[in-house]
Chain A
Amino acid sequence: MTEGSFRASPGGRRQGEEGGEPPKRAPRLLPRLGRLLPKRGDLIVLFISVLIFAASIALVGNERPSSDTVTLKAGHEEYVYPLGEDRILKIEGPIGETIVKIDAGGVRFIDSPCRDKICVGMGAVSQNRQVVACLPNKVIATVRKSHAGRTR
């Protein structure tokens, strides 16, 4: 914006009366911030997205086991183990053997044949609905607690 156009604005006259230097950024910043405001269509899509997100949480939260467990999915097979009993499990997947350890009230993958070892790097999970997954080997472990707020 040029100096001439700034003087023509009401804000410019007010600054002139006070005798100070006119702030140079204010007239430019306001329109920029205005463009960040969402449009009506954006809010509708956001509302639908949040609704589906909330529905997915409600769907998972419906079931609750009678005791703390770990659900292990290997392909289409599903196994349930008590979270309180320490054990090491060898799960066979399409690319090899994933080794899962249940101890100290948590579950973690200690080895897997996948390339990136992201599942091993995730460490132990012990809270309700927390998940460790090895997608390449199709193994997924989910903690299920009998009481929602219980943590270790």
Chain B
Amino acid sequence: MPAERDDSVKLLAFLSALCLFMSTLEYAIPKPLPFLRIGLANAPILLAFGKLPPRRIVQLSALKALLQGFVSGTFLSYVFVFSAAGTAAACGAMLFVAWIGGDRVSRVGISLGGALASNAVQLLLSRLFLFGAGTAYLAPIVFGLGIVSSLLLGAVAEQAATQSLWYRSLGVEP
């Protein structure tokens, strides 16, 4: 295995483990509604930007969805389908924002874009398969909390990425 690929695989494994840890933390935090998560498990994905290539970020997102399903006990339930669809949409949106924004966007914008896409897809699925038109009543709560939590998470991730010596020491560049 080439050295660069070896490094990125190691970092992918490490960040996946961090996702598992964050998912466990998140599971312990009380939620007013099951799908209203802070999104702590997305922090390692935000940290992957600038360190891993897009292909690895997609792999990390897939692993995050899987591990989150294991931790919360929702794997193979409809909740997991919602969560996985949200994660897939968020991953696509984050990569798109990072690609189109370049140096003009930080992890704050990437986080906001991911939350927006994830919430939009989950509300759409909810409208199609769960609550029909009544989903509209949930939309303001979901989007509002999504903006606040993703702003905070993005700011913390950006601060960690620019200030942390540990983050710099990871040493892999896409």
Contact = CB atoms under 8 A, between A and B. Distances in A.
Nearest to A142: B137
Contacts of B134: 71, 73, 78, 140, 142
Contacts of B120: 52
A81 interface: no
A42 interface: yes
B171 interface: no
A133 B33 contact: yes
Given A45-B97, A60-B139, A118-B32, A40 B116 contact: no
Contact of B105 (A42, A71, A135, A138): A42
A138 B105 CA distance: 39
B interface residue count range (under 10 / 10 to 19 / 20 to 34 / 35 or more): 35 or more
B14 to A, nearest CB: 24
Contacts of B151: 46
A129 B136 CA distance: 10
Nearest to B109: A42
B12 to A, nearest CB: 26
Contacts of A100: none
A152 interface: no
B139 A36 contact: no
Interface in A36-78: 36, 38-46, 48-50, 52-53, 56-57, 59-60, 71, 73, 75-76, 78
A78 B136 CA distance: 14
Overall SS of chain A's interface: helix
A118 B34 contact: yes
A118 B104 contact: no
A interface residue count range (under 10 / 10 to 19 / 20 to 34 / 35 or more): 35 or more
B35 interface: yes
A122 interface: yes
A78 B132 CA distance: 9
Contacts of A59: 136, 139
A76 B130 CA distance: 7
B113 to A, nearest CB: 5
Given A36-B159, A56-B140, A133-B138, A42 B34 contact: no
Contact of A118 (B31, B102, B116, B155): B31
A49 B93 CA distance: 13
Contacts of A60: 136-137, 139-140
A131 interface: yes
Contacts of A42: 105-106, 108-109, 112, 154
A57 B138 CA distance: 10
A39 B106 contact: yes
Contacts of B162: 35
Interface stretch (B15-23, B39-47, B53-61, B141-149): B141-149
Interface of A: 32, 35-36, 38-46, 48-50, 52-53, 56-57, 59-60, 71, 73, 75-76, 78, 116, 118, 122, 129, 131, 133, 135-136, 138, 140, 142
